[in-house]
Amino acid sequence: MPSKPLSLRDGLLALAVMIVWGSNFAVIRLGLDDLPPLFFAALRFTFVVLPAVFFLKRPPVPWRNLAAYGLFIGAGQFGLLFIAMRGHITPGLASLVIQLQAFFTIGIAAYLTGERVRPFQIAALTMAASGIAIIVAHTDGTTTNLGLALVLGGALCWAIGNVVVRSTPNVNMLAYVVWGSIFSAPPLYALSLIFEGLPAMREGIANADLGTAAVLAYQSIGNSLFGYAVWGWLLSRYPAATIAPMSLLVPVFGIAASALWLGEPLQDWKLGAAGLVMAGLCLNVLWPRFAAIRGARTPPAA
């Protein structure tokens, strides 16, 4: 697909998706005030599936592919993330650390395909890892080593889900997410019943109000259905190299929303750690594009 700049309308749509995806971390934290984390995640994916599954045709991929995606993204990524965000890590840092899925994805793909990890990717990972090391050195009552470990586990599950998706290219991503989520909710309900208990699930329903409903709607309709529908539509109109860098804004909006809505403090060490992680992510995403442009402008040797 030939390169072309984003139109103003499409740029604003991409920005809207980044705002929704970034601010979603603060919204998750609000929902956890009323609902146990695993039960909350189960409800989220229930409303991703219903009623959309009745209006979207199942994508032409094997059931095992949809099941793998649903399990790793649902029970894996979001199950671990929701547990972590209930008192083990701040929303702003969670939105940042979860982005390390990009490096896990590179590592898994290299292991499966034998593709060599390139020097710029090693440099990018080193930057990001330095930022995580700063966070580890400053864990306190709001961010713990357990919280970091859970979010990193969620990032690993997200990366595995990415690899699963890449094995079936050219599918309707919205339909894929909806049908894959069929396999997300049941294990989350089962895990909630085992680890949180039926009384906690009942109490969560009893505590639910219009605010809880709005949080669930934001999660299912805004974050999943709107986000993936628009993102998939943009990817169908523009090269991935044009659209993918926009995802770097997710932790920016995540940290900003957490600071503005929830009063998360932005200490110097946190900003420094965020800068290192973001620098690593930027290098990983933007270097191939920069190298391609530089190569196209370099005249061949005589």
Give 275's pLDDT tier (boundaries 50, 70, 90).
very high
For residue 80, give its domain range. 8-124+141-267
Residues, the chain:
302
Helices 101-113 + 119-137 axis angle, to 10: 140
Buried b (16+ CB within 10 A) or exposed e, 42-67: bbbbbbbbeebeeebeebebeeebbb
pLDDT category at 146 given cuts 50, 70, 90 is very high
Query: What pLDDT is recorded for position 139?
Result: 81
pTM for the structure as a whole? 0.90
- Residue 3 resides in a domain: no
Domains identified in the chain, total number:
1
Is residue 276 domain-resident?
A: no
Q: Is residue 281 part of a domain?
A: no
Is 47 within the bounds of a domain? yes
Q: Is 59 domain-assigned?
A: yes
Mean pLDDT on 22-27: 95
Return the higher-pLDDT residue of 132 and 1.
Answer: 132
Compute the distance between CA of residue 121 and CA of residue 107 in angstroms, rounded to an integer.
10
